[in-house]
Each structure stands twice: as C-alpha cells, then as structure tokens.
Amino acid sequence: MKALLSRVPGGPDLLELSEVPDPPVAAGQVLVAVKACAINYPDVLIIEDKYQFKPPRPFAPGGEIAGVIEAIGEDVTGWQVGDRVIGMVGHGGLAEKVAVEAGRLYRLPPERDFAEGAALLLTYATTIHALLDRGRLAAGQRLLVLGAAGGVGLAAIELGKAFGAQVVAAVSSDEKAVAASAAGADETIVYGRAPFDKDQSKALADRFKAAGGKAGFDVIYDPVGGDYAEPALRSIGWEGRYLVVGFPAGIPKLPLNLTLLKSCDVCGVFWGAFAARDPAANAAHIDRLFALWAEGAIAPRVTARFPLARGGEAIATMAARGAIGKLVVTV
C-alpha cells in the first residue's frame, strides 16, 4: 500500500510517499481501507516532534479517517467487511489502509460522503466537550469564539447556536468573517495578525469588551492562544469560563490578576484524555453530535480536498493558518 511517511522530524515538505506493507490486524482491531483523512493542527505538530505523542518513525500522520472495513481481527463483534466507518486513529491516516481498534469506530451514515465523515469527530467532539463539560454553556449566555473560521471555530459557532447561546466570532480576515456568519455567528470581529504591541493589545481588548457588553462573555473558546488570549480574557464576565483549546499562535502568559478580578475560570480542554478517561460520557456526546448532524444543526465544512500525494500541502496550509473549515486528503 501507499503511505505518506514522516521519516525524520521536520515540516510537511519532508514527507515521503512510499510503498509499505499492509498493517497487521491484531485482536480487537479491524483493517480500514482509507477513503478520506481530515487534517488537523496536531498533524502539524506530530511530524515536528512537538506533539505530546511521538510515534516511532517512520509513521504516517493523519488522525481522523473515514473508510470501509476490509478485514476483521479476532474478538471483534458488531462489524462486517464492507461497513462504512469514521474514527480517530491518532496517526497513520495518510495511507491507503490503517488498522484501528474496533471500539474507536463509528458508523458513517449512508447519505454522508467520506470527506464529510472524516471531518466530523475531532473538531465537534472536542468542542461539545469544551462547551458543555468545561464551559457549562447555557442558553442565553454569550460566547466568544477565537479563530472562528477554522474547523474547531466553525464547530463552536454551530454548537453554540444549537445550545442557545449568542455567538461572537473573531477571525483574521473578511473572507473568514463571511464563513463565520454563514455558520450562524450573531456578530463577527476581524482582528489583525499578531504580534501586538501594548496599544494594539488594548485596542483589541476594547473591541472584545464592546462585543461582550456590560456583563462580558460567559464563555470564551480559544483554539488560537498567543497575543489574542489576554485581550480576550479582559472581556470575560463575572465567573466566566475561558476555554484553552490550542496554541497555533503561541503559548500565552496570562496575567492571573484578571482571573481574581473577574472570579473566572481558565479551563484546559483535552478531549483525547477525556474520551479515554470517561468513554461513556464521550459516547453520549458522539450520539448527540450524530443527532445534531441528522437534524442539520451542524455540518462539517470541507473547503479543500487533496490527493494523498499532496497531503503535505494540506498540512502546510494548516500550519500557515490559512484554512477555512476543514482540509481533507482523499485516498
């Protein structure tokens, strides 16, 4: 089979399309013929050895796949060859085949294509856990979403609206503002590119405060970090929840006096660990996502598709923070 391999640490330009043996299928696993693999920010980090998990090389990046079951290992029940599935694999998805623990797979509805299916789990499962478990978002509350035109950002807009929140979307371009509005945002803010000096940081904080109103935001969803974090935190309301989701703009240093003055919470969001520690709660969230998907309340937006040989381009686009919605490699 073909696989796009990381043989040495570095950027996506170092990935190599190679012929490798089909992966063995252990007990409890199935072999999936990959049809689509969504690209996410962890794919940028994992090939540079900057992610919390460092698989032995050579390996294929790509943690979110859709495909068809080709073979079934021992002790697997409930699945058949030919079943259409989606699932999280951690890495290995940028390949023609991948072996997956059967318990990590979900059925892809027949009316959904593989690219859309591959784009669902990571962004929406992360976001529903963030908003409900960590953010305790309730109907009528105000939600600020940073990086709102990316995969998790659009998911936060859609889920925020589905849960009855007023959503303000912050983005870095007019084109991204259009995408955020189309996803249901009540208001958009277009901010400049960091780094910010002191005056620029204050100006952005003032814009966030104006959008949050006198009471401020109940929940702030931050998958960006960097110099955007402190201005956003300054707009939080009393006992608000600041959700730390990711750091493509850098790891911020927050002035903790703000948390005291607002009596607010800064909450880390690590969906993968949550899913492993509380699989029943995660499964309930996934069931809810499938119901919202069927109702049309959420819909993964695939904005670009790349063949396997150009998977490195998809990762490079993600690294440059140029993606709107989801990028998917088709196999």
Q: In the prediction, which pLDDT does 322 show? A: 78
Q: In the prediction, which pLDDT does 52 show? A: 84
Q: What is the pLDDT of residues 28-43, one digit of tens each?
A: 999 999 999 999 999 9
Residue with tokens 């789990």: 121
Rounded mean pLDDT, 236-253? 95
Q: Rounded to 5 degrees, what are φ and ψ at 304?
A: -155, 140
Q: How far is CA 235 from CA 179, 261, 294, in A?
A: 23, 12, 35
Q: In the prediction, which pLDDT does 323 show? A: 86
Domain assignments of the chain as residue spans, ordered by start:
2-120+300-330, 125-270
Which residues lie closer than 8 Å to 281 by C-beta, 6 or more apart? 133, 274
Element (H, E) at 242: strand 236-244
Q: In the prediction, which pLDDT does 92 show? A: 97
Question: What is the signed CA dihedral for 164, 128, 169, 327, rounded to 10 degrees?
Answer: -140
Is pLDDT at 60 greater than 90 in this prediction? yes
Rounded mean pLDDT, 66-88? 96
Task: Specify the CATH superfamily of domain 2-120+300-330.
Answer: Medium-chain alcohol dehydrogenases, catalytic domain (3.90.180.10)
Which fold would CATH assign to domain 125-270? Rossmann fold (3.40.50)
